[in-house]
Structure 1
Amino acid sequence: MHRLRLAVCLSAFIAATPAFAARCGGDFNTFVQNMSAEAANAGISQATIAQALGGVQQDFGVLAFDRRQRGTFTKTFEQYVATRVGPGRINGGRAMLRRYAPLFSSIEAKYGVPRQILVAIWGLESDFGKGDMGKLPVFRVLATMSHDCRRTELFQGELLAALQILQRGDLPYHEMIGAYAGEIGQTQFLPSSYIKYGVDFDGDGRVDLRHSVADVLASTANLLHTNGFKMGAPYGEGSANFEAMREWNHAVIYRKTIAYFADQLVARF
C-alpha cells in the first residue's frame, strides 16, 4: 500500500515543508555535504549526520520507480476493493480487534477515532504489521529524492525529519528502513508525519512505529484526530470524517476502501 500512497499523497506535505538552501542536482556528494550543513544548522548533531549520511549512495532504482508513478488509480472502486479486502483480511482484522480490545478502548477514549478505522488502515498498509513495510534504507532513499530537482524541498524536509527520528532515539540506524518515499513502519508514516503525529503510547520513552503496536495505532489515531476526525460520526464518502481522512490519503478510492473495510470489520461482530 505504501507504493500507492507514494503516488497519491506526497503533495499533502508540500505546503508544510520549509524552504532549504541545499541546491539540487549536480554532484551528489557535494549535495550531501550541503544538506549535512543544513541539518547541522537545524540542530542535528554531527554524530547523527555522520552515521546517517556518511558514505550514502544515490539510488537510481528509487528514481526509476518514482518516474513510473502516475498519481492516479486505474481501477474502479469495485475492482480495487476486491483485491484489497477479502475474507482472510477481514477475519484477520477481527482477530486484531479482539486481541487488542483494551488498547483500542484507551485510544478511542483519548483520540476519538473508532477502532475499526484504525484496524482497516493497519491492515491495508502492512497486513497488521506482518506484511511488507519496505526494505530500503531511508537515508539513501531520501538523499536520492532530495538531490532530484522535481520535489527537492519536500524531500529535504523529509530527510531532516528522518535525521530527527534517529537523533531522538526512536529507531536505531539499522532499523531506518522503509519504502520508496521513505515511509516507515506498520502504517507507513513519512518521516515528517512521524515527527508531527508520532505518540509514545506504550510509555517506553520513544516513538516506535515499527514494533510497538500501541505506538502505531495511537499515532495513526492522533493523525486523524488532529485533522478533525470525530468519534460516532459517519465516515463514508461525503462526510466530514471522510474529508479528515484526506490527510492520510488524498485518493477517494483508497478512503472509500478504508470505510468499506471498517464496516466489514464490525458487521455482525
Structure 2
Amino acid sequence: MNNPRPHSGRVALVTGAASGIGLDIAHGLARQGATVCIVDRNGPAAQEAAQAIVDAGGQAQAFVVDLADMGAVNTLLEQLAQRHPVIDILINNAGIVLTQPATDVALSQWNATLAVNVTAPMVLTQHVLPGMKARGWGRIVNVSSISGVRAGTGRLAYGTSKAALIAMTGQFAIEVAEWGVTVNAIAPGFVDTPMIRTLHGSSKQSTLLAACPMNRLCSAQEVANAVLFFTSEDAAFITGQTLGVDGGFLASGLFIRNLFEIPAATPAQGLAA
C-alpha cells in the first residue's frame, strides 16, 4: 500500500509559493506530510497561504523575501539555518517575466530577471545541498519553461534565464547524484495563471491555444503533479532531466490545426507505378 504521507518529517522550501503553481506545489507537499517553507515577496499572500495549509491540518511557515535582493536572500538563509538546518526538498519555482522586443530590454530588467530566475535558485541550491548529502537523500526541482527550450517572441531575458536554469539543473545533478540527491527541471507550457492572462488574454481567447496540440491551457495543478512526481521515490533514479508539461507543444514542430481539412492549392496527383 502506498504511503499517503511519504514526506512526513521532511522540510520543503518552495519559492513563489503564495500563488499559482507554487501554491499548488506547497499544498501538495503539505498533504504528503512535509513542513513547507513558503517563500514569496508578497507578505500578506504568503502568510495567507501558510495559514491555509495549517488550517487544513498541515505545517507551514511564511518567509517574505524578494529574491532579486541578494541581501534579503542571505537573511533568508540565516533564518533557515536557525529554524530548519536541513531542507529535504527544494522547489525553485519563483520567476519573473517581462514580454517586450529584444532590442528594448534594459540592463536593469535583464539583471533582475536573471537574479530571480537563475541566481537565487543557484544560491538556494548551494545552501541546501550539504544537508541533503549528509543525510543521503534530497530532491531539488527547478521550474523552468518551454521558453527555456525554444525561443519565443518577446522573451529575451526570460527565455535566456530559463534556459540557464535547465543547464544548471544538469550541472548540479551530476555532482550530487551519488549521495541520493536528484535535481530535475519542469518545463511548463502555457499555464492558466494570472500572469499568463495578463500577458496573453483570457484562457478562452488566448492566441497561445493555437500553438498547443491539446488546444487548452495547462492548470497549475498539472504542473504541481509533475513536481510532486520528481520528489517521490518513484523518481529516485531520475536526475538531470527536464520534463515538458506542455500539452505537446515542444513535440509539435510545425503544428497546423485542421491541416487535413484545408483544401490543397493543387489537387494531389496519383503516383505512377
Could you say whether these structures have the same fold, taking a TM-score greater than 0.5 normalized by the shorter chain as the test? no
TM-score grouping bracket, smaller chain normalisation:
under 0.3
Higher helix proportion: 1
Relative contact order: is structure 1 or structure 2 higher (C-alpha 8 Å, sep ≥ 6)? 1
- Tell me which structure has the larger Cα radius of gyration: 2
**What TM-score comes out, normalization by structure 1 length?**
0.25
